Amino acid sequence: MRLIKLGWNSFFQHHFDQLKSRDLIPARIAQQHKNQYLIYTGDGELHAGVSGKLRHETSGHAGFPAVGDWVAVTARPEEDRAVIHCILPRAGKFTRKAVLAGGMPDAGGKTEEQVLAANIDTVFLVSGLDGDYNLRRIERYMTVAWDSGAAPVIVLNKTDLCAKVESVIEDIKSAIVGVPVLKVSAVDGQGLELLRDYLVEGKTAAFLGSSGVGKSTIINGLLGYERQRTNEVRERDDRGVHTTTYRELILLPTGGMVVDTPGLREIQAWTDEGGLSRTFSDIEALAEQCRFNDCRHEHEPGCAVRAAIESGELDEKRYQGYLKLQKETRQLSLRQDKKARRLNDKEWGKKINRVQKDKKELRKKGLI
């Protein structure tokens, strides 16, 4: 298995060379099962765990390897085992706000980054046209996708169940400019060749979208056989149940790779103003035309945003979605700042304790 086929390039080679160790070899994370991993090396696949040192130095979800990561390992092929010693710098990553096992954000207000996939070239944002289609959800996915370092592509699946496909595409293109919109029907294979254009050798794509939109069916179609289990969508609400229970890097016959992730109904964005600005560039451009720099876009005279909404140029629902994501982003920024201050205070406290301890030892020895 050649490393180049797995996405290895000069960026990763440069950082691997800095390790200067003959015992280490590069590998890519293919599957993640809690603290155990399946990795791809130049010679094949191995099962792996993280080293004690890496585990000790890691705090939070983001410090552990994620699917798509390139890592440095020591391998024992005869035992089908390897030990992960470090994660190579990421060319990009898809992240979300970490949640507890119960599905609710930490009640203590703790905010933590969770890496879902790393080093991806294309993000396929999949929506089903069987009743699950939601433009506001696509905008939310877009905001996070821009921050992943990958190029977003919107995929409309189940076109065979929708009589107004072109109208939907027109709505998306008017709201999200410059992003490709592909239409497919995974059950009969129509349109899958459009996705294959992005999945050439050495390139990695991630499939993201709600449960039941057909991500696994699309991947089955790209593979040419049913590897991913699929479930029927419930008739009462057009939503499926999760068919993928862990994140996985899948090699395709065409040479490309895809990352499948468990369905995400609501993405808790881990993003900054950059992703928001790219998704809602039209709204921010309008805001710059307001008469007052501190315009709140409510009842102020000369507000270009309100004027655009009243004239029909800007959809009120799109604007409300922008405000919601803007609020989330700002709250996240405040929590990150608080966390940074807590860590800084903790480190400063340790330094003070060390100084006081050193002084105490010097006093005992009569040196001060």
pLDDT score for 103: 45
Per-residue pLDDT tens digits for 89-112: 999 988 776 644 444 444 444 556
Give the C-alpha separation, 271 to 277, whole Å: 11
Q: Which of 49-58, 152-161, 237-246, 291-300 is the least confident region?
A: 237-246
Residue ranges per structural domain of the chain: 4-87, 120-260
Judged against a pLDDT cut of 60, whether residue 169 lies above it is answered with: yes
DSSP 80-145: TEEEEEEEPPPS-EEEEE---TTSS--TT----EEEEEES-SEEEEEEESSS---HHHHHHHHHHH
pLDDT score for 357: 75
pLDDT band at 229, cuts 50/70/90? Answer: low
Handedness of CA 267, 272, 273, 275 (dihedral sign): negative
The amino acid sitting at 281 is: S
Highest mean pLDDT: which range of 60-64, 80-84, 311-315: 80-84
Q: Of 235 and 75, which is predicted with more confidence?
A: 75
pLDDT score for 230: 55
Give the C-alpha separation, 170 to 211, whole Å: 24
pLDDT score for 98: 60
Burial status of residue 3 (CB atoms within 10 A of its CB: 0-12, 13-18, 19 or more): buried
Where does 120-260 sit in CATH, by number? 3.40.50.300
Q: What is the CATH T-level fold of the domain 4-87, as seen in this structure?
A: OB fold (Dihydrolipoamide Acetyltransferase, E2P) (2.40.50)
